[in-house]
Structures are given as C-alpha cells and as structure tokens.
Structure 1
Amino acid sequence: MTLESLLSQYHEWFESVGLFLATLVVVSLLGHLLVRPAVSRVVTARNPNNPTLVNALEQYTTVLFVVVAIPIATAAAGFGGLVAGSTVIVAAGTLAVGVAGQDVIGNLVSGLFLVADPDFNVGDYIEWNDESGTVERIDLRVTRVRTPADEVLTVPNTQLSTNAIRNPFSRGKYRLTERVLVGYDADLDTATDAILDAADEDDRLATDPEPTVHVTSLGGNAVELAARVWVDDPRSANVADVDSSFATRVKNRLQAADVPIAPASQQAVSGRLDVSMEGER
C-alpha cells in the first residue's frame, strides 16, 4: 500500500483530528486572550485591594475555557457519535478519573473558597495547626506560605479550607502580653509606672489602645503582672523584635526603679536516702 493510498484512506480521519485540535486551540485562545483580560478588568475595578482574587479568577477562567473547548471541539470534529456509542467506556473512564483526581478536585474547589474569602489574601500572616507564615500565592491546587524561618511551605488548599485559620494581624493591630513577676515587697504603683514608661519609648507600639498593666495572680513567692501593649502596624513591623525590645526595656526600667524582680521559684525536695556499705570478706 502506497503512502498516497494510505493518506486517501485516512483522509477523513485526519481532517477530523485536525478540526478537533484547531477548535480546541481557538476556543482556548479566545478565553485566554479576550475573556480573561475582561474578567481581570471587571474584578480589579470591583476589588482593587484584592490581587489574590484577581489572579485566581484569571487562572480559573483559562482552565474553564480549556474544559469547555473539549466538548465543543469533539462536536465540531464529528466525534460525538463515537463518544455516544461508547457510553460504558466513557462512564468507566469518568469514574476512574474522578477517583484518581478527587484530591485534585477537592483542592481546586477549596482554592475557590479561599480566593472568595475577603479575610484571606496574599500578604496575610496566618496560623493553622502547628504552622504559621505569610501567604505569598494562592494557586489552583496549593497555597504557598513563607514561614518566619524564611522557608516556603506548599500547602494543599483543602488543608487551609478545612482547618481553623488564625489571622492575628487582620484588624491592623496586634496585642503583645508580657508576663512580669515581682516580689511581694515591691511597690506595685512604681512597677506599673516603670512598665508603662518602657512602652512609651517605642514608636512601633500603639497609643490607642493605651498600654495597660494588671495584677493577674498572687503566686507562692511572686506577684504576677500582665503588661499588654499593641503593635501599631504588625504587617510592616517585626513583631518578635518589638516584643523582645519591650521585654528588655521592662527589665531595665524595673531594675532602675529598684523594683525587686521575683527570684526563681525554689522547690523543696524531700525523701529518704539509705546508704549501706559492705565490708571486706
């Protein structure tokens, strides 16, 4: 059989395959080049401060048009009858793909919920389970989070959508609580003034709400004070550094004011010790 006769025999099939691929490419490009920019403009106009939502919807629009292009290309190429005549095969294939891709599909759906959540955005510092970090990017399947140790975690979207997420900086201020133990012979008014003076020295701490100091408990050998201050702009400030600096100033201020800091707790040990010595035989 010559090449010419072979091409003549499969000419119609080659035309159908070419039409399928051409339709698939055209519909996909139509969505990517025309619809995606339009969606981006509309969403950006309505949500100028939410780049997460804009980027995610752009990705979903592209994927949606690829998915929609497949049945359109199938119908245009005349493969509809072939597919309809293989219902059992198609059903089995659909089931297999569904079982194998259930995690992927779950992550895609979870990603939609995450990008639609107004309290979950790129740049947010979040805490969940035993992990924490700053959201850098929300993709179709995973969310990338940079930890305080400068590591990037690739977190499946389902993990974030099905667990409680804490966003300590969501309201623009972050409260720090410093636990201070002073002796029973300390003047509490003097200790309070010293702690408040230490708070006033750092411009990164907010004046509204004002710093507060309260007695929280009377221990066995110390009075416990709780100093509460608020970081004014936790998104730009290094919260750990602010906390450490405040604690250091509190210690220095208390020592300068001759306020006795409680000594380490002493523990009494009781018991019995028997010592026996064996003589030489």
Structure 2
Amino acid sequence: MVTFESLLSQYSAWFESVGRFLLTLFAVSLLGHLLVRPAVSRVVTARNPNNPTLVNALEQYTTVLFVIIAIPLATAAAGFGGLVAGSTMIVAAATLALGVAGQDVIGNLVSGLFLVADPDFNVGDYIEWNSESGTVERIDLRVTRVRTPADEVLTVPNTQLSTNAIRNPFSRGKYRLTERVLVGYDTDLDTATDVLVDAARADDRIASDPEPVVHVTSLGENAIELSARVWVENPRSANVANVDSEFATRVKRRLQDADVTLAPASAQRVDGRLDVSMEDGI
C-alpha cells in the first residue's frame, strides 16, 4: 500500500531540487532588482540628467538581464544540469522553435536598445514617420507609445521606428512655419512684405532670431505668390498649430486693412458667337 509518507520520501529529493531552483531564481532576480538596478539608475541619471528615457529603459533591461542570468544559476543549484545536458537535442529543438516564434519580439527588443541609446530620440519628442506623427510618451522593451495630435495613443513596434526614417522637426529648438499668400499684380510688394513681417512680430512665440523673411516665390498668370517664413520659439512647449493659425488670421486681416487684394479672381476669356433674331411686330 502506497502511503503519503512513502510518496514524500520517494520524491523528497525532487521537491528539494525544485525548491533550490525557485529559491535561487528568486534570490538572484531580487538581488538585481533591489541592489543593481538602483545603482545603475543612479549612475546613468548622474551622467544623463536630461535623458529619463535612457534611465527608465536601462532599469527595465537590468531587471530582464538578471532574470536571464538567474535561470542557468538556478538550474545548476537545483542539480538539473545533468538532465539538461542529457537532453541536448530537445534543448536545441526548443531553442530553435523559440527563436523562430519570437523573432519579432527579439527584433523589437534589440530595436528598443538602439532607440534608447539614440541621443536624438527621447520621451517628449514630437516625431514624424511614414504617414504618422505624435509625441513620444514611453519607450518599452517591445513597443513605443506615441500620442497623436488627435489625442490618440499609438502602440508602435520598436522595429518600425528603428528601420524607418524619423523626422524630428523640433530637435533644434525652433520650428519653421511658411505662410503662402497670393496678391494681385497691382499690389505694392514692399507694403505687403512689411505687413507680413509686422504680423509675425506681433506674436512673442515667433522668434526674432532668425528674423521673419518674405520672398516672392511665384509669378502666376493672375497673382503673385509671397511666402513668409517664420520660426517658432520653444516648439516643444508651444502649440505650433495654434501659432500657425493665429499668424495666418493676422496676415489676412492686416492685408485687408492695407487694401491689398488677396487671391484675385482668375481672368477667363470666353470665345464664341451670339445670334439674335427679331420677330415681326417687335
């Protein structure tokens, strides 16, 4: 008759090995989380005080690294090394299957490392890629979360951002806006230029260095195209869309006040013949 004591005696060594495995796995992971991770965070923060993206990412990677280190150590402490060594073909097959199934995940992990190591890619940056754009909110191990101008959150795989061209229009501290205006050929261009420049200087968010400039960019069939180029100060904190809209509104109003003809109607030439017939008695 099999009793509980006999079963316990029979499997006691196995239970002990499993206990050593779990204890070692937990101890090594806890060591990395409580001791090494804070130390890494302090060192990276001291050297990169303005790069929280790098700090947060390295904290996550440190935790994952210690979990990876803990697995073989726990296997050796539990005495499972011989079992693993005796199942080389099984381990190799499992490794191959895991690699094929997780290639996208591994690619995103590697891409995440490249993103956090890039000094020009940080949380808070406004980026544009493919047909999407938005502000980076968080860079995780697998994905990057981007908030769009429509206040939607995009979860973007890291490989998309690391393998595509990314435009960071605000990276140099200023952002250029271009406002195009069509005026009639009878317009005094000096007057129109002064109006455009004054409209730009009326907004403190528009930089004075470099100064606003106005160029004639096209001589159309019925109108002259003027392009006013201005630069927005601190585009990370300023609402660029609002600055652009308010600037365009001021330009329209001030040009109208200066009696400048905006977007004159196209002259159309009509060719043909009109026949008129008269009836008797009329």
User: TM-score normalised to the size of structure 2?
Assistant: 0.94
- Residue 156 of structure 2 aligns to a residue whose secondary structure is strand
- Residue 48 of structure 1 aligns to a residue whose secondary structure is coil
For residues 186-208 of structure 1, what are the alpha-carbon distances to aligned partners after superposition, in whole Å with 9 as ceiling and x for unaligned?
Answer: 11001001111111111110000
C-alpha deviation, 1:264, in angstroms: 4.3
Could you say if the C-alpha distance between residues 269 and 152 of structure 1 is closer, same or farther in structure 2, counting changes exceeding 3 Å?
farther
Amino acid at match of 1:166: R
Structure 2 stretches of 5 or more lacking a match? 273-282
In the alignment, which residue of structure 2 is the partner of 1:35?
36
C-alpha deviation, 1:220, in angstroms: 1.1
Cα separation, 2, equivalents of 1:85 and 1:220: 85
The answer to whether structure 1 residue 80 and structure 2 residue 81 are counterparts is: yes
In the alignment, which residue of structure 2 is the partner of 1:26?
27
Structure 1 stretches of 5 or more lacking a match? 272-281
Cα separation, 2, equivalents of 1:92 and 1:16: 25
In the alignment, which residue of structure 1 is the partner of 2:280?
none
C-alpha deviation, 1:270, in angstroms: 9.0
In the alignment, which residue of structure 1 is the partner of 2:227?
226
In the alignment, which residue of structure 2 is the partner of 1:175?
176
In the alignment, which residue of structure 2 is the partner of 1:93?
94
In the alignment, which residue of structure 2 is the partner of 1:274?
none
Moved over 6 A (4+): 267-271
In the alignment, which residue of structure 2 is the partner of 1:164?
165
Cα separation, 1, equivalents of 2:266 and 2:111: 50
Mapping for residues 1-281 of structure 1, pairs under 5 Å = 1-265=2-266
Cα separation, 2, equivalents of 1:139 and 1:89: 32
For residues 95-137 of structure 1, what are the alpha-carbon distances to aligned partners after superposition, in whole Å with 9 as ceiling and x for unaligned?
Answer: 0000000000000000000000000000000000000000000
- Residue 218 of structure 2 aligns to a residue whose secondary structure is strand
Cα separation, 2, equivalents of 1:125 and 1:263: 37
Amino acid at match of 1:179: R
C-alpha deviation, 1:262, in angstroms: 2.3
Cα separation, 2, equivalents of 1:146 and 1:264: 41
C-alpha deviation, 1:269, in angstroms: 8.7
Cα separation, 2, equivalents of 1:36 and 1:270: 82
Cα separation, 2, equivalents of 1:158 and 1:267: 54
- RMSD of aligned residue pairs (Cα, Å): 1.3
C-alpha deviation, 1:142, in angstroms: 0.3
Q: Calculate percent identity across the aligned residue pairs.
A: 86
C-alpha deviation, 1:222, in angstroms: 0.6
Could you say if the C-alpha distance between residues 17 and 266 of structure 1 is closer, same or farther in structure 2, counting changes exceeding 3 Å?
farther
Cα separation, 2, equivalents of 1:128 and 1:253: 36
For residues 35-84 of structure 1, what are the alpha-carbon distances to aligned partners after superposition, in whole Å with 9 as ceiling and x for unaligned?
Answer: 00000000000000000000000000000000110000001111001000
Matched residues, number: 271
- Residue 65 of structure 2 aligns to a residue whose secondary structure is helix
Cα separation, 2, equivalents of 1:212 and 1:150: 33
Cα separation, 2, equivalents of 1:113 and 1:19: 37
